[in-house]
């Protein structure tokens, strides 16, 4: 069964493996039907998974509608993460980007499709290099204060922007990001260098397949996690994870874990990385 851990510096408990839903829906000419998506979701939930990752533009919104349907009976049990930033209308210059107008428009659409009054985690999907950081952070904070979003995070965003965001929110008393998503593959390991060498605040780095979830945890030393290759089958078969663990890519300093399961003395050795987010950077969205 799935184990749980805290999402970054928050108190939110999420399953070690998140279920990504970019392939929920056939609108793009490929992907899973409603029936197949439901089968995937049920296997994930039956294994103990509670962390579901989607986006406002996955399969033109179909993924969010499917997720909303699947979680309806037990909405409060699941931790639902969605994203905003990528355009939904190519003829509208404000239908994409990180700015406040698009954020507010996107979250309202996501809430309707998901059939809920809030999302547990809202990701900024991709840094647009245009919107002021303060504008994004204040809009995030407004959504949290309004109860439409509980936590916020940043995906595909340069480390220096994330560091600026964390510093700014601490200074102004705004809601701070609790997690960061970034792409990773054997062909592109740049995130290792950026996080390890460029970010001043310590980060907990977790790698699964082509996904890296970076969770700011100020009490942890700099560290790099093990690689855990996960195929579509193992995504919902979390009990297979121990057999899939590989040797570390790099180990910088001692590694600790806040997972309650790791309090067992048998876990005193460095703990391999665990999934904490989904990303559509590779063939399969986790």
Range with lowest mean pLDDT among 28-32, 131-135, 200-204, 249-253: 249-253
Range with lowest mean pLDDT among 48-62, 83-97, 203-217: 203-217
pLDDT score of 107: 98
- Distance in angstroms (rounded) separating the CA atoms of residues 38 and 21: 11
**Residues labelled catalytic:** 58
Residue 7, pLDDT above cutoff 50: yes
When comparing pLDDT for 181 and 223, which is higher?
Answer: 181
Please compute the mean of the pLDDT values over residues 230-258 and round it to a whole number: 36
State pLDDT tens for residues 110-165.
999 999 999 999 999 999 999 999 999 999 999 999 999 999 999 988 888 988 99
DSSP 185: B
Whether the Cβ atoms of residue 194 and residue 164 lie closer than 8 Å to each other: no
Q: Which of 192, 213, 205 is nearest to 277 (CA)?
A: 213
pLDDT score of 188: 78
Residue 183, pLDDT above cutoff 80: no
pLDDT score of 196: 55
- Distance in angstroms (rounded) separating the CA atoms of residues 251 and 99: 38
pLDDT score of 197: 56
Report pTM.
0.72
Per-residue pLDDT band at 191 (split at 50, 70, 90): confident
pLDDT score of 195: 61
Residue 100, pLDDT above cutoff 50: yes
State pLDDT tens for residues 162-180.
889 999 999 999 999 988 8
Instruction: Tell me the domains of the chain and their CATH numbers.
Output: 4-267 (3.20.20.100)
Please compute the mean of the pLDDT values over residues 187-207 and round it to a whole number: 59
**Neighbouring residues of 168: CB distance < 8 A, sequence distance ≥ 6:** 133, 134, 137, 174
- Distance in angstroms (rounded) separating the CA atoms of residues 3 and 249: 23
């Amino acid at each position: 069964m799935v184990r749980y851990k805290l999402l970054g510096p928050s108190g939110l408990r999420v399953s070690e493996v998140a279920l990504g839903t970019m392939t929920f829906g056939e609108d793009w000419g490929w992907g899973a039907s409603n029936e197949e998506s439901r089968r995937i979701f049920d296997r994930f939930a039956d294994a103990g998974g509670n962390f579901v990752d989607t986006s406002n533009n996955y399969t033109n919104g179909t993924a969010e509608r499917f997720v909303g349907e699947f979680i309806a009976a037990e909405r409060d049990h699941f931790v639902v993460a969605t994203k905003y930033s990528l355009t939904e209308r190519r003829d509208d210059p404000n239908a994409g980007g990180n700015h406040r107008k698009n954020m507010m428009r996107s979250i309202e659409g996501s809430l309707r499709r998901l059939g809920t009054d809030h999302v547990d985690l809202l990701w900024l999907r991709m840094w647009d290099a245009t919107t002021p950081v303060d504008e994004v952070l204040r809009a995030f904070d407004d959504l949290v204060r309004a109860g439409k979003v509980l936590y916020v995070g940043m995906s595909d965003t340069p480390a220096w922007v994330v560091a600026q965001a964390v510093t700014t929110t601490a200074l102004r008393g705004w809601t701070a990001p609790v997690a960061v998503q970034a792409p990773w593959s054997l062909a592109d390991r740049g995130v290792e260098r950026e996080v390890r060498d460029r970010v001043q605040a310590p980060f907990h780095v977790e790698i699964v397949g082509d996904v890296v979830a970076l969770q700011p945890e100020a009490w942890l030393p700099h560290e790099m996690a093990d690689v855990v290759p996960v195929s579509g089958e193992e995504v919902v078969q979390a009990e297979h994870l121990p057999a899939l663990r590989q040797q570390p890519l790099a180990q910088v300093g001692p590694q600790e874990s806040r997972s309650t399961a790791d309090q067992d003395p048998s876990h005193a050795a460095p703990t391999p990385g665990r999934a904490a987010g989904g990303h559509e950077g590779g063939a399969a969205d986790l």
